[in-house]
A = this chain, B = another copy of it.
């Protein structure tokens, strides 16, 4: 905590970050070594990876490399999936795949199914995705996004000798505010929060609640260069000073009993 205080009290220091979109990755296939593809593409982009870079990776290419594609023709829906599919207006196969990834149904209405996935993330369809995926297939989230981030980080270190942080991102709708933003669903090598609680503001007043979910902000910043139609599934955030941590992303999930909107 002291280090954050010290760091930010240096007023002369104006931070200047770069958000660099990495182009030229091939369509990712099951079994691909993603670290190798990312390091190779970065090199071809003339971007040498550096220590303390945050490498933000759209979950889709992680899922694809991990073979998390389900052919919908192979899916036999449960009776409940068939029933629920009627209510929400999706196909029984789509709903079955979503339910297998879920541990609770949080909200539903025609066209919308919001669930809590097995890792505790509340989101539409447990993150099961059909866009930017070949026809007839559903793409699941990585089974353990923090583990995926860790493995990517280790792969990048092995290939480049550089110690980066990795953030795996996904696009999510939100209560209260219209539109979607990207957030972090898996992290490695960076603390999930920038925690000011107990520190004092410039007038000496104690900051009681301020705990910035900066990995979500990093994912959002990276989305600005990724877009949805470009093939830019990787961005490097460079120049951002952060605290190292192996905490992972689970602290970002608000427990139901603390969520006044659930």
Residues of A at under 8 Å CB distance from B?
Answer: 4-5, 8-24, 45, 107, 109, 112, 114, 122, 130-135, 171, 173-183, 192-194, 196, 199, 201-203, 205, 207, 209-214, 216-218, 220-221, 223-225, 227-232, 237, 240, 251-254, 259-262
Question: Could you list some 13 contacts between A and B, CB below 8 A?
Answer: A14-B20, A14-B23, A19-B19, A109-B260, A130-B205, A135-B203, A175-B261, A176-B253, A177-B254, A178-B193, A199-B228, A214-B224, A218-B224
Please, which residue of chain B has its CB at the minimum distance from the CB of A236? B16
**B240 contacts A171, CB within 8 Å?**
no
**A228 contacts B207, CB within 8 Å?**
yes
**A228 contacts B8, CB within 8 Å?**
yes
Which chain B positions have C-beta within 8 A of A22?
14
* Known contacts A175-B262, A212-B171, A254-B177: A223-B227 contact under CB 8 Å: no
Which chain B positions have C-beta within 8 A of A260?
107, 109, 112, 114, 175
Please, which residue of chain B has its CB at the minimum distance from the CB of A176? B122
- State in angstroms the CA–CA spacing of A240 and B18 once bound together: 11
Please, which residue of chain B has its CB at the minimum distance from the CB of A23? B14
Known: A107-B260, A179-B192, A224-B237. 9 other contacts (CB 8 A): A16-B20, A16-B225, A132-B205, A175-B259, A178-B211, A181-B213, A199-B228, A201-B228, A220-B220
Please, which residue of chain B has its CB at the minimum distance from the CB of A174? B174
**A228 contacts B175, CB within 8 Å?**
no
Which of B24, B177, B252 meets A253, CB within 8 Å? B177
Please, which residue of chain B has its CB at the minimum distance from the CB of A175? B261
**B201 contacts A179, CB within 8 Å?**
no
